[in-house]
Chain A
Amino acid sequence: MQVGFLDYYSGVLNVREARAALLANNIANADTPNYKAVDVSFNDALAAQLDANQTGNAPNAASSAAYRATGVVGLNGNDVSLDAERVESAANGEAMLGATSFLRQSTGDLVTALRPNPGGI
Chain B
Amino acid sequence: MGGTDLFDIVGSALTAQDARLGAIASNLANVDSVTPPGQQPYRAQEVIFAASPVGDGADDGGDNNDGDATDGVDVTAAVNADLGVQVAGSVETNAPPVTKYDPGSPYADAQGNVTGSNVSQVDQMVDLIDSSNSYAASVAVLQQASRIDQQMLASFQVS
A residues within 8 Å of B by Cβ? 14, 17-18, 20-25, 27-33, 35, 38, 41, 44, 48, 52, 57-67, 82, 85-86, 89-90, 93-94, 96-97, 100-101, 104
Bound Cα distance A17, B20 (Å)? 29
Q: Is the CB of A104 within 8 A of B156?
A: yes
8 contacts between A and B (CB under 8 A): A18-B1, A22-B79, A31-B134, A38-B79, A61-B1, A63-B63, A82-B133, A82-B137
Out of B13, B130, B144, B151, name the residue touching A28 (CB < 8 Å): B13
Q: Is the CB of B76 within 8 A of A65?
A: yes
Chain B residue nearest to A64 in the complex (CB): B70
Chain B residue nearest to A78 in the complex (CB): B49
A-contact 0/1 string along B139-159, CB 8 Å cutoff: 011001101100110011000
Instruction: Please give, as numbers and ranges, the residues of chain A lying within 8 Å of B9 by CB-CB distance.
Output: 21, 24-25, 28
How many of chain B's residues have a CB under 8 angstroms from any CB in A? 47
Q: Does B94 have its Cβ within 8 Å of any Cβ on chain A?
A: no
**Which DSSP category, helix, strand, loop or mixed, fits chain A's interface?**
helix
Bound Cα distance A38, B61 (Å)? 20
B residues within 8 Å of A by Cβ? 1-2, 4-6, 9-10, 12-13, 16-17, 20, 48-51, 61-64, 68, 70, 73, 75-76, 78-80, 83-85, 130-131, 133-134, 137-138, 140-141, 144-145, 147-148, 151-152, 155-156
Q: Is the CB of B49 within 8 A of A32?
A: yes
Q: Is the CB of B51 within 8 A of A100?
A: no
